[in-house]
Amino acid sequence: MNVEFINPFLESLNNVLGTMASLELKAGKPRLKKDEKAQGDVSGLIGMVGPQTKGSLSITFEGTLALEIMQRMLGERPTEINEEVTDMVGEITNMVTGGAKNILGDKGYDFDMATPVVVSGMGHTISHKSDGPKILIPFGSEYGNANIEICFDK
């Protein structure tokens, strides 16, 4: 998987969070995920299906960061990861993937998106079961960390 495929997701997350929550996360270096386990407390997942390839994306947040984004986007800060927070994470997952889809579509990589699914549970881990390489992009902030993982077949 080349950088042409990764950058649109990275840019798209910061576009979405910058616009919706006035928050910029600091992106670390994208890397191949091997045995490493990225843990988080709330994750949005979405499937992608295109004529050339299919795959999956996840965005995992530490709870403290998800609650900070919630406060900035909606002006309220629940005490726990409730349904409003999972709705927001699903929405962010949809918008980030949609933003990347637009950029990639302009480059000739088309795919359709399934509907998002959100997982909540302290310290859960995500394993993408595609045949292709798994790319992990770490993001940091003073409020907590996030990760995007992208995986396409082939």
Q: Which residues bind its own copies (CB under 8 A)?
A: 43-49, 54-56, 58, 83, 86-87, 90-91, 93-94, 112-131, 151, 153
- Closest to its own copies by CB, 11 or 91: 91
Do 131 and 48 form a contact (C-beta atoms < 8 A)? no
Q: Whole-number minimum distance, CB 61 to its own copies, in Å?
A: 14
- Closest to its own copies by CB, 29 or 129: 129
- Closest to its own copies by CB, 1 or 113: 113
What is the C-alpha separation between 87 and 77, in angstroms, rounded?
14
Q: Whole-number minimum distance, CB 5 to its own copies, in Å?
A: 15
What is the C-alpha separation between 24 and 17, in angstroms, rounded?
7
- Closest to its own copies by CB, 26 or 154: 154
Could you count the other beta carbons within 10 Å of the beta carbon of residue 142? 8
Residue 10's nearest CA partner among 32, 20, 25 is 25
Q: Whole-number minimum distance, CB 142 to its own copies, in Å?
A: 25
Query: Which element (helix H / strand E) includes 150?
Result: strand 146-152
Q: Whole-number minimum distance, CB 131 to its own copies, in Å?
A: 8
